[in-house]
Amino acid sequence: MSIVPTDNLRSPGRLGRLGIFIAGFFTAVLLLFALTHPSSTGFARWLQRTLDLGIDQLAIVQRIQRLQRLESVKYTLEKVVTGERPSRFLPQSLAGERLLLIVRGEVFAGVDLGKLQSSDVQVNGKQVKITLPHAEIFSTRLDNNQTRVYSRETGLLVPADPNLESEVRAEAERQLLQAALTDGILNNASTNARGTVTALVQALGFTDVDVN
């Protein structure tokens, strides 16, 4: 069995770190020379603009991403939703069932700014162009405190169906979402999100902000 000296195992690590330090040192010296030497004025300006652009773009993306799921619209609706269990052979009064539910619900929409990518932000001096993710529906829910059964009619020959109210509630959520979409909730969410992001970027010192 051969034994490898421990010094030989540690030496590459020290040499590697030394190499990284030397490379970093000479890189810093070259950058300093490029920024200060008269013959390198053009390159210095280009490099400074590149550094500023990267920092500004990164700052904008990070600030916007911090907003995460920006809920910019809440749509509220109150309506009556009907659910039935029709009778096939007997009169409705004997074997059918009908339920009227007064529902009040809310739909929340907005833009998930956590999906924003660096490529969605373009910076040119004090001008910024931003392409936001598409607006989306975040949630649809019924307000249980404001939702109630208005009436329920059950045939004389059948018991009340325990699942009917749950099915009517599900249908109410579907109708609530459809009404919100028809009334343009996603367009409103996009408009409000653009306004919020525009104000945020202007607060960073940019004067010409175009948010799509």
Domain ranges of the chain: 68-211
Look at residue 204 in the predicted model and tell me its pLDDT: 85
Q: What is the pLDDT of residues 182-196, one digit of tens each?
A: 999 999 999 999 999
- List, in order, residues 6 or more apart from 106 with CB less than 8 Å away: 74, 75, 76, 77, 140, 141, 143, 176
- Looking at the DSSP bridge assignments, the partners of residue 123 are 128
* Cα radius of gyration rounded to whole Å, the chain: 32
Q: What is the pLDDT of residues 130-144, one digit of tens each?
A: 999 999 999 999 998
- By DSSP bridging, strand 97-112 and strand 148-154 are antiparallel
Q: What is the pLDDT of residues 66-113, one digit of tens each?
A: 989 999 999 999 999 987 776 666 666 565 688 889 999 999 999 999
Query: Whole-model pTM above 0.75?
Result: no
Between these two residues, 95 and 162, which has the higher pLDDT value? 162
What does pLDDT average to over the chain? 77
Look at residue 84 in the predicted model and tell me its pLDDT: 75
The three-point CA angle 143-80-71 to 5° equals 40
The arithmetic mean of pLDDT across residues 152-166, rounded, is 73
